Amino acid sequence: MFERSFWLPESVNRLAQGSDELFMFILWVTVISLVVVLGAMVWFAIKYRASAAFIRGAAPTHHLGLEVLWTVVPTVILGVVFVWGTRDYTRMSVPPADAMEIRVTGQKWFWTFDYPEAGVRIQATPEMDAKNEADGLPMGLVVPVDVPVRLVGSSADVIHSIFIPAFRVKKDVLPNRYTTATFQATEVGEYDLFCAEYCGTKHSGMITKVSVVSQDDFSAFIESSKAVADQPPDGASIFASSGCAGCHSVTPSSGGIGPSLHALYGRQEELVGGESVMVDENYLRESIENPMAKVVAGYGPIMPAYVGQLSEDELTALIVYLKGLGIENGAAL
Ligand code: CUA
């Protein structure tokens, strides 16, 4: 009855079955109540208008039947909504005992998905999603079809909110505590995943996909992700998967949220406060791990700290990559 582009997409979450029917029930109860109440108001306003002929002061002040009616009918409707809602909400929020657990971390401005049992980490930045799409690989959060999944979410910085409309799932993720969400996808496909809590400049870009795949494809995905994880870290991939490109350009352009990283190594940087610093390995390391320590003049102190988020190997590989940006044959371009 409603346009697909306006309404939520078709629900593909077995655990959320019934919630759409409850939503429509509440919607129609509300619409009918609105029509009845407004209709009665208009009808009374016309019937008892000032110029109408009737004996004022003779109107009844109490009607037991009406009082009972407008108390009992809403109570029954609210009782139905309560029982129905409690049943569906419980089914949606209590994960089945055999649910697969996936850790979700929101961070300005991308999602990280950890599969603790497999030891696999997926970082769903726009760059990684584009690369996976080009390579024909599943994007974003990859889950098997028909398997209950329990998401355990938290945030590395501010409040984000994980919103998967096709699953009817929306849950805030917060710094310093965990929240959970549960679903069981019924159909293979690719579904939108949004951040639904305004979290800064690139909030609207904090989008990725949920790729629901067959159980065989899921095993293959886990195996190939493990194989990648066994390779020595590659700085360019870490740059792409850690969200760096969201703010830093690697070309000489300026105007990004953070400074351009082109031909950075060996450069003198003006800092907020007037001093300047020579960009060497230690400055790069400090600026990744603890970006507030030395902020470049003209930029805000907004970069999230990556201390503890990259392994020693990854940090070193990233610094090697940064040193090489814009450098060819040993000279800065
Ligand atoms: Cu994260 Cu909005």
Q: If you write DSSP's letter for every residue of 39-55 in order, what string do you get?
A: HHHHHHHHHT-TTS-S-
Between 90 and 256, residue with greater pLDDT: 90
CATH 2.102.10.10 fits 100-230, yes or no: no
Please check the confidence at residue 313 and state whether its pLDDT lies above 80: no
Looking up tokens 């655990």 gives 15
Ligand 1 in reach of 197 Cβ (< 6 A): yes
Two structure tokens written together for 66: 């009406």
pLDDT tens by residue, 45-101: 998 888 877 777 777 788 899 899 989 999 999 999 999 999 999 888 888 888 899
Looking up tokens 């590395």 gives 156
pLDDT at position 5: 67
Q: By CB neighbour count within 10 A (0-12 exposed, 13-18 middle, 19+ buried), where does 105 fall?
A: buried
Q: Which fold has domain 4-47+61-93?
A: Helix Hairpins (1.10.287)
Ligand 1 in reach of 201 Cβ (< 6 A): no
**Residue 322 to residue 238: CA distance in whole angstroms:** 11
CA of 200 to the centre of ligand 1 (A): 7
C-alpha 128: how far from chain center: 16
Tell me whether the CATH fold assigned to 4-47+61-93 matches the one assigned to 235-324.
no
**Residue 213 to residue 145: CA distance in whole angstroms:** 6
Ligand 1 atom, smallest distance to 108 CA: 1
Ligand 1 atom, smallest distance to 199 CA: 2
**Average pLDDT, stretch 217-244?**
83
Q: What pTM value is reported for the model?
A: 0.72
Q: Which of 111-115, 255-259, 273-277 has the lowest mean pLDDT?
A: 255-259
Ligand 1 in reach of 44 Cβ (< 6 A): no
Ligand 1 atom, smallest distance to 106 CA: 1
- SS3 category, 128: helix
pLDDT at position 280: 84
Q: Work out the pLDDT band at 229, boundaries 50, 70, 90.
A: low
**Residue 248 to residue 125: CA distance in whole angstroms:** 14
Please check the confidence at residue 168 and state whether its pLDDT lies above 90: yes
Please check the confidence at residue 307 and state whether its pLDDT lies above 60: yes
Please check the confidence at residue 117 and state whether its pLDDT lies above 90: no
Find the radius of gyration of the CA atoms of the chain: 28
Ligand 1 atom, smallest distance to 200 CA: 2
Looking up tokens 């990259």 gives 310
Please say whether the beta carbons of 151 and 104 come within 8 A. Answer: yes
pLDDT at position 1: 46
- Maximum mean pLDDT: which of 202-216, 229-243, 266-280: 202-216
- SS3 category, 66: helix
Domain borders along the chain are 4-47+61-93, 100-230, 235-324
Ligand 1 in reach of 204 Cβ (< 6 A): no
CB neighbours of residue 141 within 10 Å: 22
CATH 1.10.760.10 fits 235-324, yes or no: yes
Bridge partners (DSSP) listed for residue 122:
113
Please say whether the beta carbons of 305 and 291 come within 8 A. Answer: yes
Ligand 1 in reach of 91 Cβ (< 6 A): no
CA of 65 to the centre of ligand 1 (A): 53
Q: Work out the pLDDT band at 193, boundaries 50, 70, 90.
A: very high
Average pLDDT for the chain: 87
Q: Work out the pLDDT band at 332, boundaries 50, 70, 90.
A: very low
Q: Work out the pLDDT band at 276, boundaries 50, 70, 90.
A: confident
Ligand 1 in reach of 173 Cβ (< 6 A): no
pLDDT at position 331: 45
Report the nearest-CA residue for atom 1 of ligand 1: 160
Q: Which of 34-38, 156-160, 303-307 has the lowest mean pLDDT?
A: 303-307
pLDDT at position 102: 93
**Residue 84 to residue 90: CA distance in whole angstroms:** 10
pLDDT at position 182: 93
CA of 202 to the centre of ligand 1 (A): 8
pLDDT at position 329: 44
